[in-house]
Amino acid sequence: MAKLVIVESPTKARTLGNFLGKEYELAASFGHIRDLPKSNLGIDIENNFTPQYIIPTKSRKTVNSLKKLVSGSSETILATDEDREGEAIAYHLKEILGLKNYQRIVFHEITERAVKEALKNPRQLYESVVDAQTARRVLDRIVGYKLSPLLWKKVARGLSAGRVQSAAVRLIVEREREIEKFKAEEYWSVIASLKTKNEKGKAQNNNGKTENEFEAGLIKKDDKIIPKLGIKTQKEAEEIVNDLKGAVFEVKTIEKKSVKRNPLPPFTTSTLQQTAGQKLGISSQKTMSLAQNLYERGLITYHRTDSLNLSSESVFAAKEYIIENLGERYWPGFPRKYKTKSKGAQEAHEAIRPSNPQNNHKKINLERPQARLYGLIWSRFMASQMSEAVFDSTDVKIKAETLRGQNPDSQYLLQAKGQTLKFDGFLKIYPLQFGENEIPEMEEKETLDLIKLTPSQHFTQPPSRYNEPSLIKTLELNGIGRPSTYAPIISTIQKRNYVFKNEQKRFQPSEIGTVVNDLLVKHFPEIVDIKFTAKMEADLDGVAEGKEKWQKVVGDFYYPFAETLSKKEKELSKQEIAEEKTDKICPTCGAEMIIKLGRFGKFYACTNFPKCRYTESLKDNKLGIPCPKCGQGEITEKRTKRGKIFYGCDKFPKCDFALWDKPTGEKCEKCGALMVITKRRQTKCSNKECEKNVKKVEK
């Protein structure tokens, strides 16, 4: 009889089947085989928060199949992932399949060596790790199923609240308010274009300047440092320029040094998602999906990790590749080790790296999306074991004295910095952006010729809105969530329409997201408190380590929460939160109209609801463009159930005219259809048969 090995997915099963012999039979559980019911809370609060698990309909066929395989096998081996989710899946398999004698194995990479080593060293299930996953599931279910009905009653139908997601929405709302409150301050800089007396190099470089020309910025006046906002007005800048026009420019000091730049560490889940977003332009959810595929095919190590450890075998393989393909200079002479800075680093034992470092992305036949991500992981890992990049850096200080009569009137100090790449090191494999600026040769006390002075106006900038990489970084820095939760958090808050991505792919809170956040901040502060959420993660880590009982962690949260919830259900009024009175009259029945807040924003509604169901979009959403289909309505900005923006007739459902791209109001010269602006900043005809009528939008 064969030994049965159960994993989560068919892809992982196929990869294991490639090197495990006929004595093993592979089967997939297709993820969790039991879960909490969707129709009710599914937690026995009175019985110490006992979860009431069921086998979902979609898993019943899988369970029956696995039971038959177990009965016909000599031994059952649970080989699910090594994190909390994987441990919980293995535990539920043990319970549902009635396994008395079983083996639990874990491996960080799906390679023949790692899997066979794991088979030699089986272990029992870690119940404390399962308890940590149970506690997270119970806490999230309590918040979702207890708080969401309150939002339905007091704000709008269809709303829901999540424990960790609410903290993420708060970050986005607070950043938006920082931007709204921000007041730009004006400041000026003064740049001097200078040239050396050296006439040797008059050939022009790529910037159109001769080789003895360079620029220097003003940094001091009369030994006082000029800060960023030091020159506040054009008048001050012009006074300095007038002073410097008659100045003598002399080289005061020249500092030359070699600057080394160390390689970045290999990827963790967080940094992989951030870098894939920045370099490849893909979402965190897509990144994790591609990484899951690469892991299950045995190409990379486990992709849910916050550890920076590397196995000695992988480091040695990297050394061999670097020396053989790039040369001795690119090997630093020692294996590089990295230490994680993540709060509460846990779960996995290695950073994300290629399973076989000798296989670069050109050697493996992959589809383009997988190839791009694999190439990023491979190059980051390989670069982490390479020599530093070396730059030649030059720092020149230039004094400028203005003379009026016999005595110095003012003295200024300017600075010019230059940097050139001397040795590329790890940049050969993992390129990073850096500026090269060559400064001509000069000597101390050498006088320089002034070509021109340029005063420039600037304004301070507000803080940037979060994009996916910066939001993930902030969540990680604050200890909110764990490697496996970043992508679901970002996906969930968008699906709920609490936040959306603008044209720059940066997060902005929706009206409903802001209202829900403000309600939670005011009445349920612990739900959205950043420190409280981080402490809860630390408590869950304590459960996983066997230091805390999961029921106590849940109870400490639940009882104060339930008391507040009961109190707020009586206190809160829907009219105060989500309704505004207006002078508008319903055109259908003559009753008063109010502004209501729905899941997708504000709208006019009749107070005679449900007898009269008349609604109307707010003028703010209307574009002032007549509907080309019915001629009676007006084009309005709308959102789908998933929060995606589209443009449709405000007479819907009587008129179903809709466009994904924003109409300009102009009509096509060829066919008369509306012209629209695409995401690529082009105007084109909305008529698909007339798509060639395209032109770029002028900035």
What is the CATH number for 560?
1.10.460.10
Active-site entry in 102, 126, 295, 302: 302
- Pairwise CA distance, residues 616 & 599, whole Å: 15
> Residue 609: pLDDT band by 50, 70, 90 thresholds?
confident
* Most confident of the ranges 116-130, 479-493, 523-537: 116-130
Same domain for 217 and 178: no
Residue 134 falls within a domain, yes or no?
no
239 with 353, same domain: the answer is no
Catalytic, 302? Answer: yes
Confidence at 204, pLDDT banded by 50, 70, 90:
very low
Rounded to whole angstroms, the Cα distance separating 664 from 427 reads: 45
Same domain, 502 and 472: yes
pLDDT at residue 124 above 60? yes
High-pLDDT (> 90) share of the chain, %: 57
* Single-letter residue type at 469: P
Beta-bridge partners for 256: 394
Assess whether 167 and 154 both reside in one domain: yes
Whether 695 has a pLDDT exceeding 90, the answer reads: no
53 occurs within a structural domain? yes
Query: Are 377 and 448 part of one and the same domain?
Result: no
Residue 664 lies in a domain: no
Is 26 in contact with 17 (CB distance < 8 Å)? yes
Q: How many domains are there within the chain?
A: 5
In this prediction, residue 207 has a pLDDT band, given cuts at 50, 70 and 90, of: low
Range(s) of the domain holding residue 436: 186-197+209-262+390-459
| Residue 507 sits in the same domain as residue 525 | yes
**Tokens 């770029």, residue?**
696
Maximum pairwise Cα distance, the chain: 106
Between strands 247-261 and 662-667, the pairing is unpaired
Whether residues 222 and 285 fall in one domain = no
Cis check: omega of the bond before 653, within 30 degrees of 0 = yes
One domain, residues 309 and 370:
yes
Amino acid occupying residue 91: Y
Q: Is 689 part of any domain? A: no
Shared domain for 427 and 448, answered yes or no, is: yes
Q: Indicate the average pLDDT of the chain.
A: 88
Based on the fold, state whether residues 485 and 518 are members of the same structural domain. Answer: yes
Asked if residue 641 belongs to a domain, the reply is no
For 142-164, the pLDDT digits (tens) are 998 999 888 888 887 778 888 88
CA distances from 600 to 498, 595, 639, 640, 681 (A): 9, 13, 6, 8, 26
**Element containing residue 401 per DSSP (H, E):** strand 389-404
**pLDDT value at position 203?**
38
DSSP symbols for 201-213: --SB-TTS-BTTE
**pLDDT tens-digit profile of 369-396?**
999 999 999 999 999 999 999 999 999 9
Please write down the HEC assignment for all residues of 5-38: EEECCHHHHHHHHCCCCCCEEEEECCCCCCECCC
Q: List pLDDT tens digits, range 398-436.
A: 999 876 533 455 689 999 999 999 999 999 999 998 878
Last residue of a domain, one of 365, 387, 409: 387
Residue pointed to by tokens 């992709």: 303
* CATH classification of the domain holding 294: 1.10.290.10
pLDDT digits (tens, 9 = 90+) for 314-324: 999 999 999 99
- pLDDT at position 349: 74
| pLDDT tens per residue across span 281-307 | 999 999 999 999 999 999 999 998 888
345 and 419 fall within a common domain: no
Asked if the structure places residue 29 within a domain, the reply is yes
Q: Rounded to whole angstroms, what are the CA distances from 333 to 386, 423, 475?
A: 9, 16, 36
Do 39 and 94 lie in one domain? The reply is yes
Strand-by-strand arrangement of the 579-585 sheet: 579-585, 592-598, 601-606, 615-617
Could you read off the pLDDT of 623-673 as tens digits, one per residue? 889 998 888 888 988 877 666 778 998 888 788 899 988 898 888 888 888
Using the CB atoms, write b or e for 158-194: b if 16+ within 10 Å: ebbbbbbbbbbbbbbbebbeeeeeeeeeebbbbbbeb
Other CB atoms within a 10 A radius of the CB of residue 272 amount to: 26
Q: Does residue 603 form part of some domain?
A: yes
